[in-house]
Chain A
């Protein structure tokens, strides 16, 4: 994981690509992954197309073992059902599959995260009079609590990495950092951003900067974090994307763009 890169070196990839590649690498081949739409879906499919061909992807629309050729725009695109091993109803996917303990990894994003990896996807501002009304919980609260472990992926910004989430939609380690003592889930394992990777301190569950992406200064990460972020004693530098990872990701994005713009009426 360690590699030295000077701050002046110009990378041939974007920070978003670095984030997606790094997030994808967290998924081991053969794992069963419950995937949220957006950034997690892109990273999980990149993993499946590179180092983890046997990764089992489950979307909350009830598509199990799906292998989409292009990224779905929604969690229920036809592509997901057509390429799935099995399709089940939504009550079943949440009860038998997620709550039933069949999921190794839950993969989420959010609008806000705090130092105990609690997530907010509900409102910015007070609930009764929100400044920004966000989409809401969706499947996230139960993915966060029932998956064997949880990965979180989001862009690193001060308004996103906050001391206290405005609304606790999905529990990471709880408001005080100790909620998983009574749970079967190991909770959040890593938070992957466009600047680095944060992992919980095993003693306190507080997120610590454990790896930094090539060319990113630690001061930049601290600046973009709304609490006093601790840095691991042995801070790693993330391995940059390989040519294969970058090519695969860009090819997937290109195919996806074309597919999303090319809708034709069923009949005229």
Chain B
């Protein structure tokens, strides 16, 4: 049996903290260990940041939809946001990033490789590109995504913990 938190937030940076607070309260009500709460909350924040940055808002879909599901031993986070019709650069980058992470023996190796790449960039660089690798490694989660017939991207991360 699972319990699910559903949130709908505007694609504004300040809303990410609202999502974080709601997630913390929901997970505490389910008596999860603080480590699992921190990991799941980090996942919610990172995926919602990406949705806020790269979502193609302005059509029918004007909100980011977040769900957090608790089942025995796992928290599943799903974040939905619109993409441009027929896909866009963000979707192609996302696909490459997820496939790239899956190409490593473990998320830790992918994270280390990403650290090495970032360390070569200038201090003033505005790129990040660490979020998904962090979700996989620090969030100890498995990433997946799909785009539905309404051009809505749903990206999910399953965080498993010892209950």
Do A and B belong to a common assembly? no
What residues make up the interface of A, taking CB atoms closer than 8 Å to B? none
